[in-house]
Amino acid sequence: MGNVTIRILARHLQLSAATVSKALADSHEISGPTKKRVLEMAAALNYTPNPYASSLRRKKSRTIAVILPEVADSFFSQAINGIEAIAQDKGYHVLVCLTHERTLKEQAILHEMLGGRADGILISVTSETTDPASILELQEKGVPVVFFDRVCEGIDTARIVTDDAQSAYKATDHLIRQGCKQIAFLAISEGLSISHQRIEGYKQALTAHGIRFNGSDIIPCTHDAEENLRSLKKIMRQQHRPDGIIASVEKLAVQVYQACREENIRIPEDIKVIGFSNLVTAAYLNPALTTITQPAFEMGRAAASLLFKALGNKSFSLSQNIQVIPSELQVRDSTH
Amino acid sequence: MGNVTIRILARHLQLSAATVSKALADSHEISGPTKKRVLEMAAALNYTPNPYASSLRRKKSRTIAVILPEVADSFFSQAINGIEAIAQDKGYHVLVCLTHERTLKEQAILHEMLGGRADGILISVTSETTDPASILELQEKGVPVVFFDRVCEGIDTARIVTDDAQSAYKATDHLIRQGCKQIAFLAISEGLSISHQRIEGYKQALTAHGIRFNGSDIIPCTHDAEENLRSLKKIMRQQHRPDGIIASVEKLAVQVYQACREENIRIPEDIKVIGFSNLVTAAYLNPALTTITQPAFEMGRAAASLLFKALGNKSFSLSQNIQVIPSELQVRDSTH
């Protein structure tokens, strides 16, 4: 059977479409017996209200959108679980939209959201994002936006972040205390807020230990796995190879293991490794990986809670609402 | 600025809403100069067509929905990447909706889809799903549905699956050839098609080697990690502990490592382990994990390709279209 519309219902009932519509909305203008006839026919014809049409009337989608780079990273998959835990309680649907680190894709998704597909947005921006215009536009339309983890400067709204600078400081400090003298920092986009913060923490720890910062120890990585592996293997073959390495995202930590294996470099004897990672397998790797573990689930929960506060109360301001949930250094064999 | 509607545009232009609407739709009924005025005003007031309203007119959302249990599993995150690769080419948005293995949540999501939120659906059902009614309803409304990996019996549509029975056969055969005499099979919901297939393959391999099948070697696992860990540790403490183990989903493989470590059982000396898993860290685990690696990305691509064929051509039939893409046994140290 095709789509049963109010018009089709009306024809079967020999009523006007307006009457059917009012009856379905339980309007006081329509008599009890008529409502009953309409509901029976609606059930018989398997009528479903078109959510686009009813969203148009209610101006509510009862949906929130989560926009993030990818799900093949434990941080994001755990954050989604935190967000869903809250949304479930509120009876909201969650749409997950992936940008694959492309700012154009992100803009297209944000543009789609302009017209009411979601009542509110949680976003962790791409590593390419510099232009806040699409997000500002949503805010101007009254759609609340909350950042988690990766924020976009120039937008005044709530941000749920972790202590990126302090975590990188702790990671660097730990490597130095374990005897490292030359620590490489594997970075993704330096334009990204979290990347910038982590590099700052790394530099501060070096300074605190009287080690001179060397720009060439910041290794720019990309989202191309093969390209990263090539650079990492090149580093492992250098005469003055680093004796410590900080992988600022999860994938890079796994690639360090791969490069070390292929170049016969032993972890931790030849090089000590720390990763910013929520990998569930971290403790079972060979050797077990020392991690900066981010509070992914809690960050997702906190971001969703703030968004629902804004959705529930028009006068609640998200402005300058910053929550910092600390990450944790978990020492394992890779830095022994 | 609030939502600018066609009515507001019309008021500013002192035109009728119908004229504005036609001008925006580039109708031949409206003169060039009027169209120009309307477009200029629309730009000035930052008018965005409401996608709900225009979807209602076009009856197209240019969106496909992917409904699956979770993203914290490499199979699903890699399948999503395959799906997005195709959708991107077609200029479609992808909404990812998570069921968290709950059939009620799945039904609520499917119900939401009834009215046109997505033009087509790709679904991998929950381990609880038994009732095909919600999916049948979508098909009756003309929304094409394609299954990938986990299918629901009783629905006639395209299915992209892997060779689950043969893969489990290969895994079991490999363990027997490595000397295992008592092989435990860690199963999730036996009602699930893939689970059933995998158990069949396991039984067939036992039979082929003249080993009697023992019902108590099928270990039912749940989605509660702590509960699974308790059962696994109990198994490890048994007097007649299995000497081989097949984890039928990724998470269970990681939990076997955890249970073995906590109970001081050595892999592979005391027990050999194979996991159905696409873990990127499999080769770097201690010991490296022998896996049945599923063609996740390819399955996502194939499922999306079929869905777009159906969306592009009303006469293309998804019925009885079954594609089997084989998995691969990757032998590593955990079965040595």
Please give the biggest Cα pair distance in chain B. 89
Give Cβ neighbours of residue B104 (< 8 Å, ≥ 6 apart): none
Mean of all residue pLDDT scores within chain B: 90
Q: Do A286 and B288 touch (CB under 8 A)?
A: yes
Mean per-residue pLDDT for B90-110?
Answer: 91
Predicted local distance difference test score (pLDDT) of residue B43: 76
B229-276 pLDDT, tens digit each: 999 999 999 989 999 999 999 999 999 999 999 999 999 999 999 999
- Model confidence band, residue B64 (pLDDT cutoffs 50, 70, 90): very high
- Model confidence band, residue B40 (pLDDT cutoffs 50, 70, 90): confident
For chain B, what percent of residues have pLDDT higher than 90? 66
Report residues of chain A scoring pLDDT below 50. 1-2, 52, 54-58
Provide the shortest C-alpha distance from residue A31 to chain B (in Å). Answer: 28
- Model confidence band, residue B59 (pLDDT cutoffs 50, 70, 90): low
The top-level CATH class assigned to A164-293 is alpha beta
Q: Do B142 and A50 touch (CB under 8 A)?
A: no
Cα A41 from chain centroid?
A: 45
Predicted local distance difference test score (pLDDT) of residue A49: 65
- Distance separating alpha carbons of residues A54 and A34, to the nearest angstrom: 21
Predicted local distance difference test score (pLDDT) of residue A314: 84
Question: Using a CB-CB distance cutoff of 8 angstroms, which residues of chain B are in contact with residue A97?
Answer: 93-96
CB B274 within 8 A of CB B290: yes
Predicted local distance difference test score (pLDDT) of residue B219: 95
Residues linked to residue A230 through DSSP beta bridges, in sequence order:
none
Grouping H, G, I as helix, E, B as strand and the rest as coil, residue B290 is: strand
- More confident of the two residues B144 and A1: B144
DSSP classification of residue B285: B
Check whether domain A61-162+296-325 has CATH 3.90.226.10, yes or no: no
- A108: closest chain B residue by CA: B93
B162-194 pLDDT, tens digit each: 999 999 999 999 999 999 999 999 998 777 889
Q: Do A70 and B77 touch (CB under 8 A)?
A: yes
Residue B165's region, left for phi above 0, alpha for psi from -120 to 50, else beta, is: alpha
Helix (H) or strand (E) holding A209: none
Q: What is the CATH number of domain B60-162+296-326?
A: 3.40.50.2300
Predicted local distance difference test score (pLDDT) of residue B253: 96
Predicted local distance difference test score (pLDDT) of residue B131: 84
Grouping H, G, I as helix, E, B as strand and the rest as coil, residue A6 is: helix
A 44-83 → B contacts, CB under 8 A: 46, 48-56, 70-72, 74, 76-78, 80-81
Predicted local distance difference test score (pLDDT) of residue A119: 94
How many helices and strands, by DSSP H and E, does chain B display? 12, 12
CB B277 within 8 A of CB B291: yes
Q: Do B52 and A137 touch (CB under 8 A)?
A: no
Residue B197 has pLDDT above 70, yes or no: yes
B301: phi then psi, degrees, rounded to nearest 5? -60, -45
Residue B299 CB-half CA count within 13 A: 31
- Model confidence band, residue B74 (pLDDT cutoffs 50, 70, 90): very high
Domain residue limits, chain B = 6-49, 60-162+296-326, 164-293
Q: Do A142 and B3 touch (CB under 8 A)?
A: yes
Q: SS3 letters for A125-186?
A: CCCCCCCCHHHHHHHHCCCCEEEECCCCCCCCCCEEECCHHHHHHHHHHHHHHCCCCCEEEE
Predicted local distance difference test score (pLDDT) of residue A47: 77
Q: Do A80 and B74 touch (CB under 8 A)?
A: no
Provide the shortest C-alpha distance from residue B50 to chain A (in Å). Answer: 5
DSSP string, A271-319: -EEEEE---TTGGGBSSPPEEEE--HHHHHHHHHHHHHHHHH-TT---T
Predicted local distance difference test score (pLDDT) of residue B3: 65
- Distance separating alpha carbons of residues B166 and B170, to the nearest angstrom: 6
Q: Do A254 and B96 touch (CB under 8 A)?
A: no
- What are the angstrom distances between the C-alpha of B153 and each of B127, B135, B139, B157, B321? 13, 11, 15, 10, 14
Predicted local distance difference test score (pLDDT) of residue A55: 45
A 196-255 → B contacts, CB under 8 A: 251, 254
Nearest to A327 by CA among A203, A209, A179, A198: A198
Do A61-162+296-325 and A164-293 come out as alike in CATH topology?
yes
DSSP classification of residue B67: E
CB B263 within 8 A of CB B236: yes
B 270-289 → A contacts, CB under 8 A: 279-281, 283-288
Probe site for chain A from B45, B68, B71 (most A CB atoms < 10 A): B71
Give Cβ neighbours of residue B224 (< 8 Å, ≥ 6 apart): none
Q: Is B138 on the interface with A (CB under 8 A)?
A: no
Pairing mode, strands A145-148 and A159-161: parallel
CB A187 within 8 A of CB A221: yes
- B257: closest chain A residue by CA: A284
